[in-house]
Structures are given as structure tokens and as C-alpha cells.
């Protein structure tokens, strides 16, 4: 089918960042981004965590040491290395270090049960898992080690990542806060796994060899995505996909001196939104991250003020929690230039109230695990359209498919299923050729990834998600979008959250029901 006349993307005349539209992005690996920034400015801060600051030089060196340690342990190119961690500095070192060694990172939520962790370890083929000596995490990981194909646990010390007085206090609390780890050949301390490192040798180009990776071919990340039915699927994201998406996000930042930006890091790094829009975006830009191990509204406000954070990516529930905190009007948030909301639609009342209370612009974006994190965003400055997910990031094309037949395009001006083509789109699902066949469709000689989201595209190239294909309610033959009903309900100040689903009806076929 010919899609040459379809408005795949905004024309440069309507694009919010016309200078970025034709940007040529570099083909590189994920660790290349870290190395490039480290060579340019080694002493620049990368992470601020619980009172300590970690430079690019520190994190890069620790990542290289971990990579060499993995090689000594027999981890080879393509092997799976899992991260079962909250937001702590060793997550960053392990993430880049595993990829330097040629391994494929597998992210695991630290909230997983033994059963959830064990299933994903088995499905992904994870050989080595990095975790912390926190009782809940270590206990879950140890249970999986005892009953699965997992070969090795590498356990980091939480106390060792804190300033000495906080680490001392943590150790004084004893077993309630620190797990009693049974060290053996299969359970190794993080510090012992790290190989020796010679900074001068690296600067002179004499550091130990690491695998030469092909960003266009080598897999970097298996990121599992949930669904409404069935088991999670592992989205296969290569080095090129992740590095391209980080550069796409960086290209639409209109503020000068990206190396001077400080991102508020409350989103969990194990989630693809934070992985790209926060971690990799910061690294490719040379920015720093003020990181928290978990979201706490009070700590977020304090951290923004302390480190003069300039950007805050979050999800709608975070912004609601900040509004509900009594210190929201007492905290100096003047350093913030923009807040980015993603992960779920932001209710208009929350959006408007947050901007009114804080004076900070909130822009909505959109992405999926399968797109490495980011597909579109409203402009950080200049023209935007509230209630939309903005315009696609540079290098991304979209089409709208007929809602009933994805082999056809939606009629002009009509809602259709959003489908995407771009350098950030996944290579497929791990061990799920059936899901791949359902997800990709060919139009105009190109493969387009179906999102399952129904969207409309306006004349300026702004997209608005109106619902999910599977959520549409058929009332006597008419399509009712639950999200539109929810939006009306949320206009009532007495309604904080709303959910609308379709239920069977003998007379009308289906009717909406609100909760």
C-alpha cells in the first residue's frame, strides 16, 4: 500500500524544533555515550545520591572494572546479566559495565515476588544477577538462585554507597536493614567482582580489551513489558535503538548548555521511561542526575531545591502526590525549567493545578517499552497543545491504521491505530515470534509497529491518544472511548480518579460503567 502521501510526521514548517528535524544521529553503543562524555569532562558530576556526588570518571571506571570482572567470571558476549536493584549508584555502573562486556542487560523490578523473578530469569536466560544486601531483595534473589538456572549472585552493599555517617547508622541497625549474606562461589560481593583499574592506562589507550560491539547488530537490553493478558514479553532493544532514542530526546531540548542540566531522578531506572528519558538522556548530554532510591514526595521537593534540579520527568501519580504534599508551596522550585509527564495520560485538572501552584511548565510525552522509551513529546518551550502527546521526536514516522483492519489506513481525519517506524523501534520479542507477527504490519515497503493505541493527528502534527483498541466500547454500533468519559468525570473536582469499562447489556450490546 502506498503511504507516500500520508502525513507521517510534522512538516518542518509546523515542527516545534525545526533545527532538530534533520539531525543526523550517531550510530554508537550505549557505553560509547558514557565514554564520550567521560573523555570530554571526566570530573563532571553524573550522580548525586544521599549526600554523595559521583563523577563521570568514577562511574565509568567502576563500569569498566565490572566489565572486566564479568569477563573473568566467564560472562561472554550475548550472555544475560540481570539487575534486581532500586535506584542506587551500582545500578548505573552495572548497567553500563555489563554492556561494555558485551552482555545483554535484563531489568527486574525490585518489587517482584520470587515467582515473578524466577519466571523472568528463566525466560530471559539470565546467568548472573546483581542485587543489594537489603533483606527483601537478597532473600528473593537467593530463593531464585536455589531453584533456577541462575548461576551467580553479585551482592552490593547499600551502606557502602552512603556517606560514612549514614552508612554507619545503617550498619548499627543490624539485621533488620542489612541481610546476612552467605558468601560462596555462587554469591559474590560487588567489590570483589570489580577488576583492577588503571586510569592512566585508559587515557593512554592501553586499558584491557573489551569486546568490539556492533551497535547495529548487538543486543543491549531485554526489557520486559506487561500486558493485560498472559506473561510479560521481553522487548529486544539493541545498542543502536537505545543510543538513537537518547539522542532523539536530547535533540529536542531547547535549553542551552545541556551539561549544566540537573535531572530529578525519582523514576525507577528499571523502567524504560527512566532508562531513556532520564539515565541515557543525561549521559549523552553530559548532565547530572539527583537520584533517589524510591519516590517520596517530600524528598523529591527537598532534592530539587538542594541540587537546583532543572528537569523532572515523572508519571501523573507523582505530580498528584507532590500537589498533596504540604511543602509544595514552601519549597523553592525556581530552578525547574520543565516537568515531563509520561507513562500514563495526565488528568487535565492535575496538569493545570500543578502549573498553577508551581509556575513550572508540564509537558506530556508518549512512548512504549518497544520504542526504547520515547516516541513523541510536547515542546519544552514555545507552542504546545495540552491534552496531546505532542509531536514525534526527530527521525520518527507514524501512520494511523484502520481500527478494524490494520492492512488498511484510517480515513483522513479519522481516529486510527497509531503505528510507528523509526530507529528506536525494538527488534522483536524474545522467544515470541507469534507476538512479533501480531505487532508489525507492512505498508509502503516498511515495517510499522502497531501500538494498540487509537490516536488522532491534527494539521500541526500533534497527536492525541483517544483510547486503546481493546478498550473501545460498542454501544448499539457506536464507538465510545472510555478515556473521553473519564475526562468528563474528572472535570468534577470531587472526582480524583476515574475508570470506565464496558459491560455487557442485553439491549445495547455494551454500556459504559464508571468506577
pLDDT digit string, tens, across residues 320-344: 999 999 999 999 999 999 999 998 8
Count CA atoms closer than 13 A to 391's CA, side-chain side.
Answer: 28
Name the pLDDT band for 4 (thresholds 50, 70, 90).
Answer: very low
Q: Write down which residue in 155, 186, 212 finishes a domain.
A: 212
β-strand partners of 262: 288
Contact 441, 401 (CB under 8 A): yes
Q: In terms of residues, how long is the chain? A: 515
Q: Domain of 492: which CATH number? A: 3.30.300.30
The secondary structure of 42-90, three-state, reads CCCEEEEECCEEEEHHHHHHHHHHHHHHHHHCCCCCCCEEEECCCCCHH
**DSSP state for residue 407 in the 8-state scheme:** T
**First vs last Cα of the chain: how many Å apart?**
42
Average pLDDT over residues 132-155: 94
Radius of gyration, alpha carbons of the chain? 23
Structural domain contains residue 134:
yes
Average pLDDT over residues 11-30: 75
Q: Write down which residue in 176, 195, 212 finishes a domain.
A: 212
- 205-219, 386-400, 414-428, 499-513, range with the lowest pLDDT: 499-513
Structure confidence at residue 476 (pLDDT): 47
Structure confidence at residue 253 (pLDDT): 86
Name the pLDDT band for 208 (thresholds 50, 70, 90).
Answer: low
Minimal CA–CA distance to 119: which of 82, 92, 70, 86? 82
DSSP strand E in 139-209: where? 152-156, 187-189
pLDDT in tens, 459-484: 889 999 998 877 667 664 555 667 77
Structure confidence at residue 3 (pLDDT): 47
Kindly list the distances between the CA atom of residue 303 and the CA atoms of 349, 382, 502, in Å, as whole numbers in the listed order.
25, 27, 42
Give yes or no for residue 198 having a pLDDT over 70.
no
pTM comes to: 0.89
pLDDT in tens, 93-142: 999 999 999 999 999 999 999 999 999 999 999 999 999 999 999 999 99
Alpha helices in 231-339 (DSSP H): 239-251, 272-274, 281-285, 297-307, 316-324
Structural domain contains residue 437:
no
Structural domain contains residue 323:
no
Which one has a higher pLDDT value, 449 or 505? 449
CA 218 to chain centroid: 20
Rounded CA-CA distance 310/304 in Å is 8
CA 299 to chain centroid: 21
Tell me the pLDDT of the chain averaged across its residues: 89
Between vectors from CA 104 to CA 99 and to CA 109, what angle results, nearest 5°? 105
Q: Which domain holds residue 178?
A: 61-212
Contact 419, 399 (CB under 8 A): yes
Structural domain contains residue 489:
yes
Q: Domain of 207: which CATH number? A: 3.40.50.12780
Q: Write down which residue in 189, 212, 235 finishes a domain.
A: 212
Structural domain contains residue 304:
no
Average pLDDT over residues 60-70: 96
Contact 424, 399 (CB under 8 A): no
Structural domain contains residue 159:
yes
Between vectors from CA 278 to CA 277 and to CA 281, what angle results, nearest 5°? 70
Judging by DSSP bridges, how do beta strands 440-443 and 446-457 pair with one another?
antiparallel
Structural domain contains residue 365:
no
Minimal CA–CA distance to 464: which of 410, 416, 509, 513? 416
pLDDT in tens, 352-395: 999 999 999 999 999 999 999 999 999 988 889 999 999 999 99
pLDDT in tens, 66-84: 999 999 999 999 999 999 9
For the chain, the domain total comes to 2
Structural domain contains residue 151:
yes
Query: Left (φ > 0), alpha (ψ -120 to 50) or beta: where does 387 sit?
Result: left
Contacts (Cβ under 8 Å, ≥6 apart) of 63: 31, 34, 92, 93, 94, 95, 96, 97, 100
CB atoms within 10 A of CB 326: 9
Amino acid at each position: 500500500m502506498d503511504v507516500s502521501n500520508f502525513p507521517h510526521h510534522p512538516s518542518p514548517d509546523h515542527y516545534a524544533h525545526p533545527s532538530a528535524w534533520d539531525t543526523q544521529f550517531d550510530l554508537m553503543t550505549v557505553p560509547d555515550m558514557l565514554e564520550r562524555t567521560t573523555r570530554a569532562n571526566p570530573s563532571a558530576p553524573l550522580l548525586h545520591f544521599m549526600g554523595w556526588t559521583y563523577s563521570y570518571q568514577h562511574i565509568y571506571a567502576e563500569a569498566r572494572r565490572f566489565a572486566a570482572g564479568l569477563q573473568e567470571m566467564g560472562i561472554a558476549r550475548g550472555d544475560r546479566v540481570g539487575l534486581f536493584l532500586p535506584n542506587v549508584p551500582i545500578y548505573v555502573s552495572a548497567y553500563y559495565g555489563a554492556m561494555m562486556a558485551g552482555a545483554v542487560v535484563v531489568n527486574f523490578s525490585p518489587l517482584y515476588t520470587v515467582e515473578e523473578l524466577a519466571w523472568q530469569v528463566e525466560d530471559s536466560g539470565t546467568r548472573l544477577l546483581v542485587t543489594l544486601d537489603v533483606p527483601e531483595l537478597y532473600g528473593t534473589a537467593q530463593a531464585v538462585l536455589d531453584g533456577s538456572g541462575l548461576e551467580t549472585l553479585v551482592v552490593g552493599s547499600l551502606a557502602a554507597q552512603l556517606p560514612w555517617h549514614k552508612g554507619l547508622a545503617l550498619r548499627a541497625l543490624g539485621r533488620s536493614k542489612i541481610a546476612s549474606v552467605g558468601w560462596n562461589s555462587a554469591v559474590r560481593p560487588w567489590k570483589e567482582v570489580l577488576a583492577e583499574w588503571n586510569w592512566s592506562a585508559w587515557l593512554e589507550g592501553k586499558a584491557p580489551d573489551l569486546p568490539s560491539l556492533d551497535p547495529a547488530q548487538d543486543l543491549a537490553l531485554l526489557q520486559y513489558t506487561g500486558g493485560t493478558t498472559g506473561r510479560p514479553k521481553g522487548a529486544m532493544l539493541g545498542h543502536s535503538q537505545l543510543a538513537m532514542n537518547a539522542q532523539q530526546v536530547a535533540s529536542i531540548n531547547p535549553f542551552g548548555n545541556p551539561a549544566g542540566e540537573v535531572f530529578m531522578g525519582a523514576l525507577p531506572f528499571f523502567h524504560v521511561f527512566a532508562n531513556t528519558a532520564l539515565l541515557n538522556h543525561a549521559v549523552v548530554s553530559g548532565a547530572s542526575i539527583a537520584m533517589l532510591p524510591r519516590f517520596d514526595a517530600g524528598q523529591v521537593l527537598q532534592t530539587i531545591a538542594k541540587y537546583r534540579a532543572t528537569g523532572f520527568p515523572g508519571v501523573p501519580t507523582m505530580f498528584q502526590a507532590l500537589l498533596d504534599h504540604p511543602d509544595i508551596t514552601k519549597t523553592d522550585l525556581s530552578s525547574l525549567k520543565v516537568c515531563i509527564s509520561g507513562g500514563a495520560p495526565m488528568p487535565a485538572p492535575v496538569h493545570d493545578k500543578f502549573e498553577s501552584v508551581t509556575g513550572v511548565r508540564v509537558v506530556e510525552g508518549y512512548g512504549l517499552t518497544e520504542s526504547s522509551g520515547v516516541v513523541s513529546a510536547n515542546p519544552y518551550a514555545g507552542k504546545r497543545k495540552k491534552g496531546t502527546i505532542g509531536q514525534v521526536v526527530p527521525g520518527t514516522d507514524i501512520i494511523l491504521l484502520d481500527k478494524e483492519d490494520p492492512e488498511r489506513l484510517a480515513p483522513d481525519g479519522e481516529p486510527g491505530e497509531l503505528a510507528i517506524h523509526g530507529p528506536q523501534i525494538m527488534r522483536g520479542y524474545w522467544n515470541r515470534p507469534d507476538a512479533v507477527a501480531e505487532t508489525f504490519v507492512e505498508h509502503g515497503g516498511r515495517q510499522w509497529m502497531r501500538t494498540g493505541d487509537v490516536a488522532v493527528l491534527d494539521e500541526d502534527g500533534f497527536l492525541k491518544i483517544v483510547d486503546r483498541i481493546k478498550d473501545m466500547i460498542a454501544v448499539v454500533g457506536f464507538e465510545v472511548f472510555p478515556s473521553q468519559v473519564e475526562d468528563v468525570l474528572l472535570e468534577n473536582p470531587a472526582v480524583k480518579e476515574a475508570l470506565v469499562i464496558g459491560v455487557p447489556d442485553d439491549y445495547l450490546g455494551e454500556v459504559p460503567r464508571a468506577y
